[in-house]
Structure 1
């Protein structure tokens, strides 16, 4: 069995009320997929930057999951010439 590695990078842009996350997944062949997620702090909530980061990162990773599933479905359809039905 051959080992294959993918690299995931998560970066954040923050201000007191908003956190944006960018997740970049680099596949073994050098292909990169990029996803974004956002979180907003309710003005009544205390400032907890890590919570905003967690929410924004989770939303970005969810977007990445959907991109990977769509990519896999497209690759399957290219070979089978049939619709691929993949679930998350």
Structure 2
């Protein structure tokens, strides 16, 4: 079975007074999902807008990715399948061996 789709993702950034907000908007043709992220510049740091953009955008995309994973889990459950246990994007899985130091 061949299947092809094109999903559009737009990332929108806004900066004001040292705070950058981002929206990552996914449009798959039938559903629109929005992830949100924020980054604040420490008042003692040099303000570099590109870093705030990167942080806020990555947080918005991470939020969007989590929403997509939860939607897939719900769809799997609706079909009687057991979704994989929730994963985190950071750290070691609970059952993974830890490296020795």
TM-score, L = length of structure 2: 0.78
| Cα-Cα RMSD | 1.4
Give the SS at the match of 1:2. coil
- Uncovered stretches (5+) of structure 2, i.e. residues with no partner: 90-101
- Counterpart in the other structure of 2:69: 69
Q: How far, CA to CA, are the matches of 1:79 and 1:3 in structure 2?
A: 22
Q: How far, CA to CA, are the matches of 2:4 and 2:71 in structure 1?
A: 21
Q: How many correspondences in the alignment?
A: 86
Q: Which has the higher helix share?
A: 1
- Counterpart in the other structure of 1:56: 56
Give the SS at the match of 2:79. helix
- Counterpart in the other structure of 1:14: 15
Q: Which runs of 4+ in 1 moved over 4 A?
A: none
Following superposition, the deviation at residue 25 of structure 1 comes to 0.4
- Counterpart in the other structure of 1:31: 31
Q: How far, CA to CA, are the matches of 1:7 and 1:45 in structure 2?
A: 35
TM-score, L = length of structure 1: 0.89
Q: How far, CA to CA, are the matches of 2:11 and 2:50 in structure 1?
A: 13
Q: Is the 8 A contact 1:16 1:47 kept in 2?
A: no
Larger Rg: 2
Q: How far, CA to CA, are the matches of 1:65 and 1:2 in structure 2?
A: 21
Which structure is richer in relative contact order (CA contacts within 8 A, separation 6 or more)?
1
